[in-house]
């Protein structure tokens, strides 16, 4: 006999309703991204203070930064009947895409892989970009910090810069995290709200 909810036991409807907790929802009010020259001063908790003298990237577009996973290559080996008998997948990588609006030296040097001259001049020869330590620090609606750290990253994709009347120039870069000596690709502090 089905439980009608009158016997004092918890119904499925009650269980489902009790499973929702709006306090666990995160709304990011603001965030900033730092491109650090070395591992000195990387966050190890949400109680992080940026190193002195290092400025954040500045404004991003309203699309915001994007943390994503890119799956590794998969190799399928087929038997004589055409059936897959072995499937081997390579590990993937996490990426952090940053759509930078501010045309600062920090942003331009990362995007073009060059040193910007004292006069602001850029002379690029299609240089590869260097290695970076990337920190994204945000604050949610309850003023709780969330920090994402890529300890060893390189820029693996750069979107085109559109130059047209009435459009903002954006230097969008995708940083790919590499596996560190401890096997980790990125660290996150304060990402979950449950203790």
What one-character DSSP code corresponds to residue 52?
T
Between CA 113 and CA 170 the distance in angstroms is 16
91 domain residue, yes or no: yes
pTM: 0.82
Count structural domains, the chain.
Answer: 1
Ramachandran angles phi, psi of 30, nearest 5°: -160, 155
In a domain, 74, yes or no: yes
Q: Rounded to whole angstroms, how far apart are CA atoms 177 and 172?
A: 16
Q: Answer for the pair 153, 132: CB distance below 8 angstroms, yes or no.
A: yes
Residue 18 inside a domain? The answer is no
Residue 7 in domain: no
Q: Tell me, yes or no, whether 9 lies in a domain.
A: no
- Is residue 1, in this structure, part of any structural domain at all? no
Residue 131 domain flag: yes
pLDDT for the residue 195: 61
Each residue's pLDDT, cut to its tens digit, for the chain (195 residues) gives 455 555 567 899 989 988 888 888 999 999 999 999 777 789 999 999 998 888 999 999 999 999 999 888 888 899 989 899 988 888 889 999 999 999 999 999 999 988 898 898 988 887 777 889 999 999 999 999 999 999 999 999 999 998 999 889 999 999 999 998 898 999 999 999 876
Q: Find the radius of gyration of the CA atoms of the chain.
A: 23
Q: Indicate the SS3 state at residue 88.
A: strand
Distance between CA 116 and CA 154 in Å, rounded? Answer: 19
Alpha helices in the chain (DSSP H): 12-18, 105-112
Q: Is residue 12 part of a domain?
A: no
Q: What's the pLDDT at 110?
A: 92
Q: Where are the alpha helices (DSSP H) in 47-121?
A: 105-112
The residue segments making up the domain with residue 117 are 25-189
In 3-state terms the chain splits into helix, strand, coil percentages (rounded to 5) of 10, 35, 55
């Amino acid at each position: 006999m089905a439980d009608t909810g009158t016997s004092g036991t918890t119904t499925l409807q009650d269980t489902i309703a009790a499973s929702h907790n709006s306090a666990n929802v995160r709304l990011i009010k603001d965030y900033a991204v730092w491109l650090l020259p070395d591992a000195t001063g990387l966050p190890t908790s949400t109680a992080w203070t940026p190193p002195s003298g290092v400025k954040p990237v500045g404004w991003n577009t309203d699309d915001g930064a994007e943390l994503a996973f890119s799956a590794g290559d998969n190799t399928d080996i087929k038997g004589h009947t055409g059936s897959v008998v072995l499937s081997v997948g390579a590990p993937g990588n996490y990426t952090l895409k940053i759509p930078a609006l501010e045309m600062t030296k920090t942003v331009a040097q990362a995007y073009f892989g060059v040193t910007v001259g004292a006069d602001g001049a850029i002379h690029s020869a299609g240089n590869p970009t260097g290695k970076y330590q990337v920190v994204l620090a945000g604050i949610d609606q309850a003023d709780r910090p969330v920090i994402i750290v890529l300890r060893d990253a390189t820029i693996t994709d750069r979107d085109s810069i559109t130059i047209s009347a009435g459009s903002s120039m954006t230097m969008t870069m995708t940083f790919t995290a590499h596996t560190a000596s401890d096997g980790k690709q990125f660290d996150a502090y304060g990402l979950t709200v449950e203790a």
